[in-house]
């Protein structure tokens, strides 16, 4: 049985401390660094994000996966991730179908925000820090991230962002499939997952084990600090009504359905909790990357990022307490 105090001490405090430190650091750069600080307040988190995606997080994944015993039910993670994507898009289609006046750029941003979640920079730390989960169940979280965010975000997401451009839907779909295939065999997370499985067969020296563990946990904390720097740079204005609907689809409707379905089909325990938590993560910064690269509605996307990160403070204990009590 998990109580609220354990969630606060084991999850909220380290996450708030790391994210808050990133926000404070970014604010100090802008306030006291002049033009240099203003410029580097954006360059530093961009550099850190690339380092984490290509080096830090893959090392962390390999390290945690090698100590993980994947259960026979781990196969449900890719299926659940695919289902979450479909549910998010179906719900967004229903909402957008009643609002024909919404611009195409905003409609595409709404669709992306309804299913692409921050399953690595926020999801991984939450899974690792929760006392009833931890590294032993990390493999399930990684599988969900690979299929739900990496492929769903940058593969399917690229198609959603460009579909209908130049009137050639088949061409944009073909381009998205090529990009998805490239992501699948080049993706650092997938390669690291495989490396972690291979490392299970090798007895590493204690010194190497210690170094890998330090890098792994350091990368998790650095990811949260980077998130704080990025959040500090966000500023939203205008009506939050439509962005809130996208966030509620992403963080309430989809995980609620996923949790109910898993429970009804006999899935319980840590795996169910991880899948619901990953399905209910805040909107990913990948949606902002897609918005900026494909000329979507950047202001709308920023609003969803602000709202979803705030709502996580409310939804996280609800999912944890409800799914560990029955």
Mean pLDDT of 270-281: 93
Q: What is the DSSP string of 181-248?
A: HHHHHH-HHHHHHHHHHHHTTS---HHHHHHHHHHHHHHHHHHHHHHHHHHHT----S--HHHHHHHH
Which residue, chain included where needed, has tokens 């032993």? 136
pLDDT at 284 over 80: yes
> In the prediction, which pLDDT does 175 show?
60
Integer CA distances (angstroms), 198 to 49, 191, 193, 205, in order: 26, 11, 9, 16
pLDDT band at 167 (very low <50, low <70, confident <90, very high): very low
Q: Which of 161-165, 195-199, 259-263 has the lowest mean pLDDT?
A: 161-165
DSSP letter for 119, please. T
Mean pLDDT of 248-274: 93
Mean pLDDT of 92-98: 89
Mean pLDDT of 78-90: 94
More confident position, 53 or 272: 272
Mean pLDDT of 73-87: 90
Among 259, 261, 266, which residue's Cα sits nearest to residue 321?
259
> In the prediction, which pLDDT does 282 show?
92
pLDDT at 319 over 70: yes
pLDDT at 170 over 70: no
Mean pLDDT of 181-206: 75
The total of other beta-carbon atoms located within 10 Å of residue 320's CB is 23
Domains of the chain: 4-324 (1.20.1530)
pLDDT at 169 over 60: no
Mean residue pLDDT of the chain comes to 83
Among 250, 236, 226, which residue's Cα sits nearest to residue 91?
250
Q: Which two tokens stand for residue 285?
A: 């910064």
Spatial neighbors of 178 by CB under 8 A, at least 6 apart, are none
Q: Which of 133-137, 166-170, 200-204 has the lowest mean pLDDT?
A: 166-170
283: phi then psi, degrees, rounded to nearest 5: -55, 140
Spatial neighbors of 172 by CB under 8 A, at least 6 apart, are 159, 162, 163, 164, 165
Among 288, 308, 306, which residue's Cα sits nearest to residue 298?
288
Portion of the chain with pLDDT greater than 70, in percent? 88
Mean pLDDT of 35-58: 83
> In the prediction, which pLDDT does 288 show?
82
- Name the pTM for this structure: 0.82
Mean pLDDT of 267-286: 90
More confident position, 67 or 83: 83
pLDDT at 143 over 70: yes
Q: What is the DSSP string of 271-322?
A: HHHHHHHHHTPPBPTHHHHHHHHTT--HHHHHHHHHHHHHHHHHHHHHHHHH
DSSP letter for 73, please. G
Which residue, chain included where needed, has tokens 């719900």? 91
Beta bridge partners of 283: 117
């Amino acid at each position: 049985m998990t109580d609220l105090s354990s969630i606060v001490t084991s999850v909220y405090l380290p996450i708030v401390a790391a994210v808050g430190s990133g926000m404070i650091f970014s604010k100090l750069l802008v306030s006291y660094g002049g033009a240099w600080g203003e410029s580097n307040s954006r360059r530093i988190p961009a550099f850190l994000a690339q380092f984490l995606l290509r080096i830090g997080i893959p090392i962390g994944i390999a390290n945690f996966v090698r100590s993980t015993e994947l259960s026979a039910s781990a196969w449900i993670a890719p299926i659940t991730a695919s289902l979450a994507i479909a549910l998010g898009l179906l719900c967004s289609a229903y909402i957008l179908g009643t609002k024909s006046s919404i611009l195409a750029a905003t409609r595409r941003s709404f669709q992306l925000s309804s299913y692409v979640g921050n399953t690595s920079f926020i999801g991984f730390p939450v899974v690792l820090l929760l006392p009833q989960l931890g590294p032993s169940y990390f493999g399930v979280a990684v599988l969900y991230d690979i299929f739900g965010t990496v492929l769903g975000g940058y593969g399917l997401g690229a198609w959603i962002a460009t579909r209908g451009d130049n009137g050639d839907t088949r061409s944009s779909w073909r381009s998205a499939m090529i990009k998805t295939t490239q992501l699948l065999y080049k993706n650092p997370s997938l390669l690291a997952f495989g490396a972690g499985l291979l490392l299970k067969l090798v007895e590493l020296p204690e010194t190497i084990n210690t170094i890998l563990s330090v890098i792994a946990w350091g990368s998790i904390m650095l990811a949260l600090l980077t998130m704080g720097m990025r959040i500090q740079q966000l500023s939203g204005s205008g009506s939050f009504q439509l962005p809130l609907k996208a966030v509620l689809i992403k963080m309430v409707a989809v995980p609620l359905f996923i949790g109910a379905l898993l429970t009804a089909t006999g899935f319980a325990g840590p795996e169910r909790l991880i899948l619901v938590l990953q399905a209910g993560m805040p909107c990913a910064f990948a949606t902002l990357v897609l918005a900026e690269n494909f000329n979507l509605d950047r202001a709308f996307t920023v609003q969803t990022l602000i709202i979803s990160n705030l709502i996580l403070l409310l939804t996280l204990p609800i999912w944890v307490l409800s799914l560990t009590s029955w």
